[in-house]
């Protein structure tokens, strides 16, 4: 399974954009890049996913490097409710459809 | 919409006792998963079921067994609980289709083994 590397923690001011990086240098051509977040005392929730092109949804944007060895989750305007642990994970579309989580990035949003 | 429902939410066991954690989803998903999360750590996959009738080991299967009872339900059994199994357990489900890859998680079961 491909591995991901994320910073342990990051801080952001409220109402400012946040860029959460993820390195996945061993990614294969069939791996989708997924982002989940976990709010305190809750189960993870889906944020966004992509394969090659940048993706946008109501929650965030996902920017994928051209060589696909890294990606960045972008929260356009951080709010206090965005304080969570953000996980970047890879899912193999041709494999067994299992998710392997890393340790994630703990995002702290300052008021 | 219920989504993924886990029972119980909290449980305290004595070392050596057995118990089954229940998980049910109402989204007609094919794939289901069991994870554990230790304090300050990410999630680790215990077992998964890619479709009804199949189960496979994940990263940390020792000490656990699973049953995919039907398409809706996926249970996790601890035959002889150990303090090292103190953790928060999450169940999840997803559609197998590669074009629809969002996974949904339950709220977790907090298990303490004393």
Q: For A30, which residue in chain B has the nearest alpha carbon?
A: B98
**Which pLDDT does position A8 carry in this prediction?**
95
Averaged pLDDT, B28-49: 90
> Which residue numbers in chain A have pLDDT < 50?
none
Q: Report the pLDDT averaged over residues B59-82.
A: 96
- Verify whether the Cβ–Cβ distance A49 to B103 is below 8 Å: no
Chain B: closest CA distance from residue A43 (Å): 5
Give the pLDDT score at B110: 97
Render pLDDT for A10-41 as a digit per residue (tens, 0 to 9): 999 999 999 999 999 888 887 888 999 999 88
Q: How far is CA B2 from the centre of its chain?
A: 17
> What's the first-to-final CA gap in chain A, in angstroms?
38
What is the pLDDT, as a whole number, of residue B59? 85
Residues above pLDDT 90, as percent of chain B: 75
Give the list of residues 6+ apart from residue B100 with CB closer than 8 angstroms, or none. none
CB of B38 less than 8 A from some CB of A: no
Dihedral sign for Cα atoms in the order A27, B52, B110, B9 = positive
CA atoms of B97 and B100, how far apart (whole Å):
6
Q: Cα–Cα distances in Å, from B69 out to A10, A88, B23?
A: 42, 31, 10
Q: Which residue has the tokens 């479709």?
A: B51
Q: For residue A111, give how far its alpha carbon lies from the nearest alpha carbon of chain B (Å).
A: 24
Contact B96/A97, CB-based, under 8 Å? yes
Q: Do B107 and A42 touch (CB under 8 A)?
A: yes
Q: What is the pLDDT of residues B78-88, one digit of tens each?
A: 999 999 999 99
Chain B residues with CB-CB distance to A43 below 8 A: 4, 90, 92, 105-108
């Amino acid at each position: 399974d491909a591995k991901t590397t994320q910073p342990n923690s990051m801080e952001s001011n409220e109402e400012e954009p946040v860029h959460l990086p993820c390195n996945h240098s061993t990614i294969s051509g069939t791996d989708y890049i997924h982002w989940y977040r976990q709010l305190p005392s809750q189960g993870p929730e889906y944020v966004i996913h992509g394969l090659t092109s940048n993706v946008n949804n109501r929650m965030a944007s996902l920017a994928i490097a051209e060589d696909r060895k890294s990606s960045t989750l972008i929260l356009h305007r951080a709010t206090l409710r965005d304080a969570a642990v953000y996980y970047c994970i890879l899912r193999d579309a041709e494999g067994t459809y299992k998710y392997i989580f890393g340790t994630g990035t703990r995002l702290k949003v300052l008021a | 919409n219920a989504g993924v429902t886990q029972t119980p939410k909290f449980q305290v066991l004595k070392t050596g006792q057995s118990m089954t954690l229940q998980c049910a989803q109402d989204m007609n998903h094919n794939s289901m998963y069991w994870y554990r999360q230790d304090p300050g750590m990410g999630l680790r996959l215990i077992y998964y079921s890619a479709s009804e009738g199949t189960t496979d080991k994940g990263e940390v299967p020792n000490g656990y067994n699973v049953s995919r009872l039907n398409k809706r339900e996926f249970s996790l059994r601890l035959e002889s609980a150990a303090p090292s199994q103190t953790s928060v357990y999450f169940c999840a489900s997803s559609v197998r289709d590669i074009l629809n890859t969002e996974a949904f998680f339950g709220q977790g079961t907090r298990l303490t083994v004393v």
